[in-house]
Amino acid sequence: MCEAYKSHKVEGRLCEAICQSKDIIFQKCANYRGGKVVLLAQCNGRCEEGKNVMAVIKTRRWEGHHFEPLNLDTHSNKSLTAESLKIAKTLMNDLIYSTTKVNIGGIQDIFEKLWEMDFTSFVKSARYPGADTVVIESLWKLLNQDEYLFMSVNKDSHFIPKIYGTCGGVYVTEYAPSGENLNSSPSIFTAKKGPWVERADIALQILDICQSLDIDFHEPLHFCDVKEENFGLDSKKQVKILDTDSLFYDTSMMKDLGDPKCKTHQECDFFDCRGWCDIMKGKCVSKRTNNNLQNICEDIFIPRAHNFYTGLLFYPPDEIAAELKQLLEDCAYPNKNKGEIVRTPTHTEVFWKLVALLKRSKSLTKQNRKYR
């Protein structure tokens, strides 16, 4: 990447910080997914002004992945023709819309919303010919990474880690460790590791995210890989979703669930998003049978004996223990079918009861401390 930057083949706001001033210093590899390169770095004053913070450097593993550069026509001075700029805008908008169902608009709008530098100002100030081509190709490589595209389009969502900047097809994001995938500290979701008030607050934030996925976007989002290492805490103890590749818009989810042929319901499942097989027709139905709330209760809030995970809400205060246990059972196993694969959505009423109980438990805990 740095060789490409020095030879004016890639651009981005953080290229100089990574490749020249070394204000972003690589610390270690944290590659926990085969399709991505994930690095942990120290960012000195360039990610958050005046602060030295940890950051995460990400990009796709391009080996074996089909990627088509734009290869647009240019003038003799290597700058893009007007027609090429129109083609780039159309291709970018088509890609953005096909993935997110969001229509951004003109090329300047695309750069303003999905890159961190002003396109026109950058091209005018560049000291080499063909800077507009380099910038367009750099953004094109970023937009061909679903996670970057989702995070950029939805950057105002409170549970999406910030993108600090980019360099070519590499992007640098906020560090929000889960405790398992990026460092060696105890997981924030291990019940015995933190006071109840902190764990209840994390649970309330996760429930808020769950509700947001259902109602705050142009269509519902399905969270299909719910596990503790896909959540993390930022420096302000705000919960973030670390792997947005596991979020799918409803239209896309229903299309994926309805495609395969099947003989059993399990053949229609997409990770934690459970499908349904029409046995008579031998085809999966375009329908998810459980929901995000059910997954979160089963995979985050309660213990799972098979992997020794104690559950975020294990060991609650005695005053709410019995009520909470019943609520979590209702949430994780709405059909009272513990031990089986759940194919029933959890009712919204359970959501609100959980929220109310967790809020009450925080007050109880604080009162108990006061009178000790």
pLDDT band at 186 (very low <50, low <70, confident <90, very high): very low
- Which stretches of 21-109 are assigned E, i.e. beta strand? 24-29, 36-44, 52-60
Q: What is the CA radius of gyration of the chain?
A: 23
How far is residue 286's CA from residue 218's CA, in Å, rounded to a whole number?
A: 19
**Is residue 219 within 8 Å of 249, Cβ to Cβ?**
yes
Token pair for 96: 């953005």
* Predicted structure pTM score: 0.90
Strands (E) located in the chain: 24-29, 36-44, 52-60, 163-167, 170-174, 221-223, 231-233, 239-241, 247-249, 277-278, 283-284
Give the pLDDT of residue 263.
Answer: 95
For the chain, the residue count is 372
Q: What is the pLDDT of residue 257?
A: 86
| Predicted local distance difference test score (pLDDT) of residue 368 | 67
Mean of all residue pLDDT scores within the chain: 90
pLDDT at 193: 61
Mean pLDDT of 231-240: 92
Phi, psi (deg, nearest 5) at residue 93: -65, -40
pLDDT at residue 308 greater than cutoff 60: no
pLDDT attached to residue 184: 37
What does residue 3 show for φ and ψ, rounded to 5 degrees?
Answer: -65, -40
pLDDT, one tens digit per residue, over 9-60 is 999 999 999 999 999 999 998 865 568 899 999 999 999 999 999 999 999 9
pLDDT at 317 exceeding the cut of 80: yes
* Beta carbons within 10 angstroms of residue 68's beta carbon: 8
The proportion of the chain whose per-residue pLDDT surpasses 70, expressed as a percent, equals 91
Rounded average pLDDT over 292-297:
98
| Residue 370: pLDDT over 60 | no
Band (364; pLDDT cuts 50, 70, 90): confident
Q: How far apart are the first and last CA of the chain?
A: 59
pLDDT at position 173 is: 97
The model's confidence at residue 160, banded by pLDDT at 50, 70 and 90, is very high
What is the Cβ-side half-sphere exposure of residue 206, based on CA atoms within 13 angstroms?
30
Alpha carbon 338 to its chain's center:
29
More confident residue, 202 or 256: 202
CB 270 within 8 A of CB 277: no
Lookup: tokens for 160: 């999406």
Query: What dotted CATH number matches 191-366?
Result: 1.10.510
pLDDT greater than 90 at residue 4: yes
- Which pLDDT does position 304 carry in this prediction? 72
Classified as helix, coil or strand, 93 is helix
Q: How confident is the model at residue 309 (pLDDT cuts 50, 70, 90)?
A: low
pLDDT at 64: 65
pLDDT at position 258 is 79
Nearest to 333 by CA among 295, 305, 292, 287: 295
The dihedral built from the CA positions of residue 110, 116, 117 and 118, taken in this order, carries a sign that is positive
Q: What is the pLDDT of residue 162?
A: 96
Note the pLDDT of residue 188: 56
Residues of the chain with CATH 1.10.510: 191-366
Residue 342 has pLDDT above 70, yes or no: yes
CA separation, residue 124 to residues 12, 79, 86, 131, 306 (Å): 15, 11, 19, 9, 59
pLDDT value at 180 more than 50: no
Q: Can you read off the two tokens belonging to residue 94? A: 């088509």
Which of residues 371 and 211 earns the better pLDDT score? 211
CA distance 112 to 163: 13
pLDDT of residue 177: 87
- DSSP class of 284: E
Of all residues in the chain, the percent with pLDDT exceeding 90 is: 73
Using CA atoms, how far apart are residues 1 and 57, in angstroms rounded to an integer?
Answer: 12
Tell me which of 64 and 76 has the higher pLDDT.
Answer: 76
Q: Are strands 24-29 and 283-284 parallel, antiparallel or unpaired?
A: unpaired
Long-range contacts of 27-30 (CB under 8 A, 24+ apart): 30/56, 30/181, 30/182
